[in-house]
Structure 1
Amino acid sequence: MTQGKLSVNNKPANSEGQQGEAGKKDSATVPSAPPTYEEATSAEGMKAGAFPPPLSVPLHPTWAYVDPSSSPNYGSGYSGDTETLTTFSWDDRNVRRVFIRKVYSILSLQLLVTVSIVALFTFCEPVKGYIQSNPAWYWASYAVFFITYLILACCSGPRRYFPWNLILLSIFTLSMAYLTGMLSSYYDTKSVLLCLGITALVCLSVTIFSFQTKYDFTSCQGMLFVMLMVLFFSGIILAILLPFKYVPWLQVIYAVLGAVLFTMFLAFDTQLLMGNRRYAMSPEEYIFGALNIYLDIIYIFSFFLQIFGSSRE
């Protein structure tokens, strides 16, 4: 009897224990109800961690990520005798502004000297008669122009170190101004003034457009090179044909092509100075930048003279 009582009495205890263990298992396996929006967005809910923290997943895959600190800029990655064109970092905006101001200051002096010499050779009859009767000065100035241009374009040392860079640029500017003035002396005074005005308007418009447009002219190097080769070989053919017979329409086509090409070069060189395009010019190359833009403007003026100018009788 006692055993039966004990066994009977033990069953409920075991059944209660089993029910308690089953209740614990059920409570462990059943997920808790998610918090409401008010609970989750409240201050207590945020502190309690109602929402799990976001996963730290990068925005780009590892093969597509580029560390900005490792990209080359003005202060690193380029030194001494390296490429003139570099990649641009907008951390150097102040450096770029000073660079642009320096280039256009030098360019203004170059254009002022050139316009003064052109005016002297155009309006002063004794000077005009002397230079036209002595063509040896023309070839001498052309040789000086060619030598100084090669030095400034090909040698990074002389064009970067003061005062040799300014001395060479001054000699180059004087020789190029003499060539331009002698060319202008063979044209009518009104034609020279007209072409000066057209050149000023075109260059100003192209410069403003290059600063404002989103189109990247620095990525058009291949097209500019092809057009330059077309202009070069057209000039050779024209030089061969001119001694036998003068062809006015061929001369005009050549001048129009040259004016269009160097107008595009002006936009190209202007955007190289800006720095927010695919290619940029190093701030150490302010002499080279002024040299390029000055040559573009002089070539545009020379081709406009051939298009719109009328020769003196």
Structure 2
Amino acid sequence: MERHLNRKKKQMKTDVESGDVGDRPLYPSMVENPNLRWSFIRKVYCILLSQLLLTIAVAFIVIFVRPIPHFFFSTINPGLILFFLLFFLPIIMLLPLYYYHKKHPLNYFLLFLFTVTLAFPTGLICGFFSAKIVLESLILTTVMVVSLTLYTFWAARRGHDFNFLMPFLLGALLILIVFGLIQIVYPLGKWSRTIYGGLGSIIFCGFIIYDTDNLIKRFSYDDFIWASVSLYLDTINLFLSLLNILR
């Protein structure tokens, strides 16, 4: 018995040294090569990290170069109108990005433009808040994204599937959009903004779980750009929702 245990320990040590542990399937019904899927996942998260770092850099410039927010929020020029138009620019950029997200190297160029167009208004929004609130939101977002990602990988390995979330998340997102439009036309006070931020945080936490599950199981290897875009949007929207709560 002792000889058998020693042999098993040696085999496990050999597997770790040779990298065979990565051959374990990510979920029970997995039929593809786990090493290929892990390479795809690492690529997506590298792109996502690059997007987030670029967003922080652009937002930092927008916040601390004072003429930029002064131009957009001055009442004596059309900057305020441009501020609202900036929110539609990322949506417009999503259309060519979705169409060409598999065409290299155009997909990387469009991804860069999309990230910058979303980072710019995000930085302007952060300018409304104190540095303390922005930092708290950034820390909370990081903790939640990392925790939900680890949970989804853990749950997938045990056979859980989150594909059923899509109809509920889509319906909740439509409610959130309508709620936001009502807030613009008929502001309902600070408590409604807090409720709006809380609902948004819950919804985008659900999207992080759903998109991470798709990253593990459903995205094809050519969809690395679109996978990173999905997780990037979930992260940015979660951050903005937390800002709404903390303010």
TM-score normalised to structure 2 length: 0.79
Q: In 1, Cα distance between the equivalents of 2:165 and 2:103?
A: 31
Q: In 2, Cα distance between the equivalents of 1:240 and 1:137?
A: 19
Instruction: Report Cα offsets for 1:44-94 as digits up to 9, x if no partner.
Output: xxxxxxxxxxxxxxxxxxxxxxxxxxxxxxxxxxxxxxxxxxxx8533322
Gaps in structure 2 of 5+ consecutive residues = 1-28
* SS of alignment partner, residue 161 of structure 1: coil
* Residue matched to 2:227: 289
* Residue matched to 1:151: 96
* SS of alignment partner, residue 73 of structure 2: helix
Instruction: Report Cα offsets for 1:197-251 as digits up to 9, x if no partner.
Output: 1111111111111111243222222221221222122223222212xxx411111
Q: Which has the higher helix share?
A: 2
Query: Which residue of 164, 170, 178 maps to 1:233?
Result: 178
Query: Which residue of 196, 219, 243 maps to 1:254?
Result: 196
Is 1:132–1:182's contact at 8 Å kept on the other side of the alignment?
no
Q: In 2, Cα distance between the equivalents of 1:98 and 1:137?
A: 41
Distance 1:130 1:232, change over 3 A: closer
Larger radius of gyration: 1
* SS of alignment partner, residue 135 of structure 1: helix
Identical-pair percentage: 30
* Residue matched to 2:45: 104
Q: In 2, Cα distance between the equivalents of 1:181 and 1:253?
A: 23
Deviation at 1:127, TM superposition (A): 4.0
* SS of alignment partner, residue 232 of structure 1: helix
Instruction: Report Cα offsets for 1:235-280 as digits up to 9, x if no partner.
Output: 23222212xxx411111111111110011101110111112xxxx1
* Residue matched to 1:116: 57
Distance 1:123 1:197, change over 3 A: farther
Query: Which residue of 94, 101, 125 maps to 2:35?
Result: 94
Is 1:103–1:289's contact at 8 Å kept on the other side of the alignment?
yes
* SS of alignment partner, residue 104 of structure 2: coil
- The residue type paired with residue 287 of structure 1 is I
Deviation at 1:126, TM superposition (A): 4.2
Distance 1:297 1:227, change over 3 A: same
- The residue type paired with residue 197 of structure 1 is I
Deviation at 1:110, TM superposition (A): 0.4
